[in-house]
C-alpha cells in the first residue's frame, strides 16, 4: 500500500533531460493523509509540469525526523511538532501548516454482524487497556440492542477481542491516545499519549495498511485507522459515544461538526481531544505540513507556497470524496497567511 503514495518522479538518468527550471520537492511523513496528498500531488504535477513532488508515506515520526535532519523539503505529521522538536531544527526555521483534517475510526472484524457496533465512551478505552476482552461483554451487549435483536443467542459476539495498533511512530496514534487519555483517567495513568506508547495488549502493524491487515485476517480484531482509508477498503466502523452522550457514526458531516468547535491559535497547533456538541464525532484531527520559514535552495520556497495555496483552495474540494474534512474558510485564511511568510 505504501507504494501507492510514493511519488518518485525523477530518476538519476532522467534528470539531465529535465528543463533547468524544473523543481523537485521531496517530502515524507504521515500515512493518515496519504490518499489525499497522493491525489493532490499527482493532479498538481499534471497541471504544473515544472514541479515534481516525491512524497513517501512513512509515518509521522519518521517524517519529523527526516525534516529535522534536512533530508526533505517539507514533512507531514498528524502530530504538530512540539517546541522541543522545533528547536532541534537547526536551519531554516519552522512553520506548521494544518492542510487537511480527518476522523480516526475504530474498525473491526465481526463475521455475520451487519449493523454498526456501538461503543460507549467507557468501553472503547477499556478495550485498548485489555480490561474488556470479549465482544459479548455485558457493556457491549447493553449498548447494542439492534445487534442483539438480530442475533438473540449472541453466538456471533462470542469472540475474544484482539487489539490492533500502530507499531510505527504515528501521528494517528498520537491523536487517538490523546483522545483516550482525555476521556479515561485510567488510560491516561496506565498508557498516556504519544506517537508511540506501550500498549497493554494487542498486535502491532505498520501504517494504516498494517493495522487494516491485522483486522482483516483475524475475526474479533479491533483497531484504529483513518476514516478515508477504512472507507476506501470497506472496513466496518464503530459508532462511538461522544462527550454529549450521543452515539455518532463517523462521516464527513459529524467530523466537520466536531472540527467547527475548534479555534486555531496563532501557531496553528490545535488538538481536538474531546469535541463538544450532540452531532460531533469524538475523534478528529488536523494534519500538518512541516515547512521551513526560509529556504536557500533556489525556487523551493516559491514552489512550496504555490503548492500549499493550490492545496488550500482547489485541493480542499477533493476532501469529501476521499473521506477527509474540508477546512473552514476562516481556518484557510489563517493558514494562507502563514504560507505567505515562507521565503
The answer on pLDDT for 277 being more than 90 is yes
Which of 219, 225, 253, 254 lies closest to 237 in space, CA to CA? Answer: 225
Report pLDDT for 11. Answer: 32
The answer on pLDDT for 19 being more than 80 is no
Inter-residue contact 34 to 172 (CB < 8 Å):
no
The answer on pLDDT for 132 being more than 60 is yes
Q: What average pLDDT is seen over the chain?
A: 92
- Please state the rounded mean pLDDT for residues 61-87: 96
| All domains in the chain, ordered by first residue | 2-102+286-339 (3.40.190.10), 104-259 (3.40.190.10)
Inter-residue contact 190 to 152 (CB < 8 Å):
no
Q: List the alpha helices (DSSP H) in 152-234.
A: 171-183, 185-190, 207-217, 227-232
Report pLDDT for 284. Answer: 95
Report pLDDT for 16. Answer: 33
Report pLDDT for 156. Answer: 85
Q: Could you tell me the maximum CA-CA distance found in the chain, to the nearest angstrom?
A: 71
Instruction: Name the one residue in this structure whose C-alpha cell is 480527518.
Output: 102
For residue range 38-73, list pLDDT tens digits in order: 999 999 999 999 999 999 999 999 999 999 999 999
DSSP state of 260: T
User: Which H helix or E strand runs over 66?
Assistant: helix 60-68
pTM for this model (two decimals) = 0.83
CB-side neighbour CA atoms (13 Å) of 339 = 23
The answer on pLDDT for 1 being more than 80 is no
- Between CA 174 and CA 139 the distance in angstroms is 27
Share of the chain above pLDDT 70, in %: 94
CB-side neighbour CA atoms (13 Å) of 193 = 19
Report pLDDT for 330. Answer: 85
Amino acid at each position: 500500500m505504501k507504494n501507492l503514495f510514493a511519488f518518485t518522479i525523477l530518476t538519476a538518468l532522467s534528470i539531465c533531460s529535465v528543463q533547468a527550471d524544473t523543481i523537485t520537492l521531496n517530502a515524507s511523513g504521515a500515512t493518515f493523509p496519504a490518499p489525499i496528498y497522493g491525489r493532490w500531488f499527482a493532479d498538481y504535477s499534471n497541471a504544473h509540469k515544472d514541479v515534481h513532488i516525491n512524497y513517501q508515506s512513512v509515518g509521522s515520526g519518521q517524517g519529523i525526523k527526516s525534516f529535522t535532519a534536512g533530508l526533505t523539503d517539507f514533512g507531514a505529521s498528524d502530530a504538530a511538532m512540539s517546541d522541543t522538536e522545533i528547536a532541534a531544527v537547526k536551519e531554516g526555521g519552522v512553520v506548521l501548516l494544518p492542510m487537511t483534517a480527518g476522523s480516526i475510526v475504530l474498525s473491526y472484524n465481526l463475521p455475520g454482524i451487519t449493523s454498526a457496533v456501538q461503543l460507549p465512551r467507557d468501553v472503547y478505552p477499556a478495550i485498548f487497556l485489555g480490561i474488556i476482552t470479549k465482544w459479548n461483554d455485558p457493556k457491549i451487549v447493553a449498548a447494542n440492542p439492534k445487534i442483539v435483536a438480530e442475533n438473540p443467542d449472541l453466538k456471533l459476539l462470542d469472540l475474544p477481542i484482539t487489539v490492533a495498533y500502530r507499531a510505527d511512530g504515528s501521528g494517528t496514534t498520537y491523536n487517538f491516545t490523546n483522545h483516550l487519555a482525555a476521556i479515561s483517567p485510567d488510560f491516561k495513568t496506565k498508557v498516556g499519549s504519544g506517537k508511540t506508547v506501550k500498549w497493554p495488549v494487542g498486535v502491532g502493524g505498520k501504517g494504516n495498511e498494517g493495522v487494516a491487515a491485522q483486522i482483516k485476517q483475524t475475526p474479533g480484531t479491533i483497531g484504529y485507522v483513518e476514516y478515508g482509508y477504512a472507507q476506501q477498503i470497506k472496513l466496518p466502523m464503530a459508532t462511538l459515544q461522544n462527550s454529549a452522550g450521543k452515539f455518532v457514526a463517523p462521516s464527513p458531516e459529524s467530523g466537520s461538526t466536531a472540527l467547527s468547535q475548534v479555534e486555531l491559535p496563532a501557531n496553528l497547533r490545535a488538538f481536538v481531544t474531546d469535541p463538544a456538541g450532540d452531532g460531533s464525532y469524538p475523534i478528529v484531527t488536523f494534519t500538518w505540513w512541516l515547512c521551513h520559514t526560509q529556504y536557500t535552495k533556489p525556487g523551493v520556497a516559491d514552489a512550496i507556497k504555490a503548492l500549499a495555496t493550490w492545496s488550500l483552495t482547489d485541493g480542499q474540494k477533493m476532501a469529501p470524496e476521499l473521506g477527509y474534512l474540508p477546512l473552514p474558510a476562516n481556518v484557510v485564511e489563517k493558514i494562507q497567511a502563514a504560507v505567505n511568510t515562507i521565503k
